[in-house]
Amino acid sequence: MIGKVYLIGAGPGDPELLTLKAARLLADAGVVLHDALVSDAVLAMISPAAEITNVGKRAGHKLLTQDEINALLVSYGRTRPGVVRLKGGDPSIFGCRRGECELVNPDDSYQFRLRRLDSPAARPKIEGSRLSAGQHPGAFGHTKPGAR
């Protein structure tokens, strides 16, 4: 649908940790602007028919300025269906999610959707550990009675 730009966080790089919605949006995308830190495995999920542009920054080297990225998002969002801004990690932590949302949609002319994986919550999965204690699988921060 023209008029929507989706911001997707690629999380820690494992495509199995993406939300189902994020995976579907990547598979159906018409345009994807991605960061340099997005893993090859996640990039492989993008539709082969999509126009894919690396807008990443590495070690101070910028392919595009933030203003140029924003201009592309606005232009594509107003004229093309299936526009995705794919960021490495969690865009709420490692990116300028709020800034891009405000700059891309200054007059509320179209919807900017956020679909992301909360990277800090995914980290234990990668390490093979849990967010909760084994004795209390549904609890955060609980310990055995008498434990310190």
Look at residue 148 and tell me if it is in a domain.
no
Nearest to 109 by CA among 25, 8, 4, 1: 4
- Single pTM value for the model: 0.70
Nearest to 2 by CA among 109, 86, 103, 100: 109
Look at residue 138 and tell me if it is in a domain.
no
Q: What is the pLDDT of residue 88?
A: 85
Q: Measuring CA to CA, how many Å separate 109 from each of 3, 4, 102, 129? A: 8, 10, 11, 44
Containing structural domain, residue 90: 4-127
Look at residue 21 and tell me if it is in a domain.
yes
pLDDT tens, residue by residue, 28-59: 999 999 999 899 999 999 999 999 999 988 88
Q: What is the pLDDT of residue 5?
A: 84
Look at residue 108 and tell me if it is in a domain.
yes
The C-alpha angle 40, 1, 90, rounded to 5 degrees, equals: 40
Look at residue 143 and tell me if it is in a domain.
no
Q: What is the pLDDT of residue 118?
A: 45
Count the domains in the chain: 1
Q: What is the CATH number of the domain that holds 69?
A: 3.40.1010.10
Q: What is the distance between the alpha carbons of residues 133 and 128, in angstroms, rounded to a whole number?
A: 13
Question: What mean pLDDT value characterizes the chain?
Answer: 75
Q: What is the pLDDT of residue 143?
A: 47
Look at residue 135 and tell me if it is in a domain.
no
Q: Write out residues in the chain with pLDDT < 70, as ranges.
A: 1-2, 92-148
Q: What is the pLDDT of residue 90?
A: 75
| Cα-only R_g, the chain | 18
Q: What is the pLDDT of residue 139?
A: 47
Q: What is the distance between the alpha carbons of residues 141 and 12, in angstroms, rounded to a whole number?
A: 23
Look at residue 146 and tell me if it is in a domain.
no
Look at residue 145 and tell me if it is in a domain.
no
